[in-house]
Chain A
Amino acid sequence: MNNIKKTSRNNMGTIGMIIAAFVIVQILKTAGMINSQMDGLLVPLCVYATMAVSLNLVVGILGELSLGHAGFMCVGAFASAFFSKVVEQSMGTFPRFLLAILVGGAVAGVFGFLIGIPVLRLKGDYLAIVTLAFGEIIKNLMNVLYVGRDAAGLHFSIKDAASLNLMEDGEMIINGPLGITGTPFDANFVVGFLILLISTVVVLNLTNSRTGRAIMAIRDNRIAAGSVGVPITKYKMAAFTLSAVIAGCAGALYSHNLSSLIATPARFGYNMSILFLVFVVLGGIGSTRGAIIASIILTLLPEVLRFMADYRMLIYSIILIVMMIINWNPKSRAWIQKHRPGNVIRSRREASEAGKEGR
C-alpha cells in the first residue's frame, strides 16, 4: 500500500535532514570554519531540538497542552548529573555517560508517569495550568535540595547544607541553590546528534504505527476513539511518559555540558517551557521536522543577531512573526508545497492538505 511507503518516505526525509546537518557541521568543523561561539552552541542546539521533538509528541500528536516540559528536562539534568558525580571515579567516560543519559531518561519517565496519572484526567487549559505548576515546583524543589556523600553513604536534606551532618571527608553533590558543580564534561556534538536522531526515529516510527494512530485518534476525537475500543488512558500515559523520557535524555545532555548546574528560572523556568512550545507551534503543530527546524532557527537567531546589540530582540520578534505567517498562511503553505522537491509523489495528499488549510 502506498500509504506506508509515503509516510516512511516523509520520515526518511526528516531523518535524512538531521544526518545531513550533522555531516555538514562535521565537515565545517574539520575545515575550521566554525568559530568557538558556534562550536559552543552545537550541544545546546541538540538539546533544544530534542526538547522540540519531545514536546511535539505531547502537544502535536497527543494534542494536550503541556507548559511544564522544562520540568522534565530539569529532572533528567539533575538525575543524570547526580549519577555521574556519584560514579565519577569508578567508571570510564563512555559507559558512565551512557548510563547517565539512561538514568536521566528513566527518572524523568517515572516523573512523567506519576504526574501523568492525575494530570491526564484533566483537559485543555486545566492540564496546561497543572503542568505549568509542575515545572515550577520541580525547579524550586531542586533549589532547596541538598545531597551530600561521606563514608557513611548519602545524606539528604531540604533545609540547608549543615543539616546533612557530613563527616570530615564528606562531599556535597547537590548544594541547594548552588546546584551541582563539577559534572564531568561528557557531552559533545556527536552524542547530542545521536540522542536527537534516536528520539526522532522513535517518535516518527511510533507515530506511523498502530500505537501512533491510536494516540492521534484520541487527539482527533476522544469519544469516537473510545467507541472503537482504543484504551484512552493507556495511550495518553504512554505518550506522556515517552515524551518525559526524551526530555530527560535531553536534560542529561544539557547537564553534562555545564560546569555548574543550577535550577535557575532562565534554564528550567516557565519561559523555557514556553520557548519549547514556540518551537512546536512555529514548526507546525504535529510536524516533528518543523519543530526541529524551528528549534534550530530560534536558537541560532539570538546569537547571529548579537551584532545588533540593543535591537537584537526586536529583530528576533519580527522574524518570529514573519516565520509564523509564512508557516501558517494558506497561500504560502500551498506555494511551499508546490515547490518542494518530490512533490509529484506526494502531490495528492498535499493537495488535500492544502484544501484543509484553506478552509
Chain B
Amino acid sequence: MALLEIKNLSIQFGGLRAVDDFNLTVEKGDLYGLIGPNGAGKTTVFNLLTGEYKPTEGVIKLEDKDITGMSTIDINRAGVARTFQNIRLFKDQSVLDNVKIGLHNQFRYSPVAAVLRLPSYFAVEKQMNEKALELLAVFDLDTEADTLASNLPYGKQRKLEIARAMATNPKLLLLDEPAAGMNPNETEELMEDIRFIREKFGMTILLIEHDMRLVSGICEKLTVLNFGRILTQGPTRDVLSNPEVIKAYLGDD
C-alpha cells in the first residue's frame, strides 16, 4: 500500500487546465521531488493535496483513505503537513509559540482550565514546551525559542516553518521550495536537516525545488511537470538525464 496515491488529478481555472491528469505514487519513507519550470503547476498540486483547492477531477488517497475534497484542517489531521513557497509564519508570535500552534491538535486542555489556570493547564503546557523545544533543537532553533518569528533570518524562518509542520505529527511532509532564497551554506544545512528528519522520524517527504543541487543530492525519485502535465517520472538519475527534461528547462534549440 502506497502512502500517497494520486490518480488522474486535474483542476481547471476557467479556460486554463493548471494541472492535467496528474498521477503520483509515493511510498512510505520516500524522498520524492516534484520539479518543473516556473508555472508548471507544482504548487497547484500541493494546494490540491492540502485541500486549498478542490480538484475538478481525480482522486487523492492517503494510506488508502480518500482525502479528495476534504478541508485543509481535516487533511492536516489525516496526516499531511506543508510549508509554503512564500513563508507563512505567525510573525507576531515567538518561535516557540509557532511550533506550539503546530502542536495544537496533539496536546489538549479545556479553555476553562486555561482561564482558571488549573493544574492540567500547567502540566500540558510543560509537555508542549518540551516537545516544541525538542523539535526546535533538530533545526538548531532552540536557542532562539523566545525570538519573534519575524526577527529570524530568512534561512531560519524556512527551517521554523518545517519545524512547525513537523509538529503536527504528519505522515507526509510537503516542502514547497524549502531552499528558495538560501545561500549555498544554508542549503547544505537544510539538506542535512531533511535527511535527518527523514531518518529520525521515518518521514515521507515530497518536495518542490528549483535548486538542482538539492534535488539531485537528496531526492531518490522525481516527477517533472511541464504546463500542468507530467513530462516524465522515475529515479532521479534517469529523469535528470532525460533530453525532454533538459529541453523543458533550457528550451529548444
Is the Cβ of B111 less than 8 Å from the Cβ of A211? yes
CB within 8 Å of A: which B42-83 residues: 50, 52, 71-73, 76-77, 81-82
Closest Cβ neighbor of B82 among chain A residues: A227
Tell which of B96, B109, B126, B167 touches A228, judged by Cβ atoms closer than 8 Å: B167
Is the Cβ of A232 less than 8 Å from the Cβ of B73? yes
**Could you give, for residues 185-216 of chain A, a 1 whenever the CB lies within 8 Å of some chain B CB and a 0 otherwise?**
00000000000000001100110111111101
Chain B hits for A286, CB < 8 A: 92
Chain A hits for B105, CB < 8 A: 229
Could you tell me the distance between the alpha carbons of A1 and B146 in the complex, rounded to whole angstroms? 10
Most chain A CB within 10 A, of B81, B102, B114, B124, is at B114
B: interface residue count bin: 35 or more
How many residue pairs bridge A and B at CB < 8 Å? 124
Tell which of B50, B77, B91 touches A220, judged by Cβ atoms closer than 8 Å: B91
Tell which of A202, A210, A213, A223 touches B108, judged by Cβ atoms closer than 8 Å: A210
**Could you give, for residues 306-347 of chain A, a 1 whenever the CB lies within 8 Å of some chain B CB and a 0 otherwise?**
000000000000000000000000000000000000000000
A2 proximal to B (CB < 8 A): yes
Is the Cβ of A206 less than 8 Å from the Cβ of B145? no
B247 proximal to A (CB < 8 A): no
Q: Give me the interface of B with A, judged by CB distance under 8 Å.
A: 50, 52, 71-73, 76-77, 81-82, 84, 88-94, 96-97, 100-102, 104-105, 107-109, 111, 114-117, 121-122, 124-126, 128-129, 133, 145-148, 150-151, 164-165, 167-168
User: What are the 8 tightest A-B residue pairs by CB atom distance, in nearest-first order?
Assistant: A209-B114, A229-B76, A224-B88, A220-B90, A226-B72, A1-B129, A217-B101, A228-B102
Q: Give me the interface of A with B, judged by CB distance under 8 Å.
A: 1-4, 6, 201-202, 205-206, 208-214, 216-217, 219-221, 223-232, 238, 286, 348-349, 352-353, 355-356
Can you list 12 residue pairs at the A/B interface with Cβ under 8 Å?
A3-B96, A3-B129, A209-B121, A210-B100, A210-B104, A210-B124, A213-B104, A220-B92, A221-B91, A227-B72, A231-B73, A349-B146
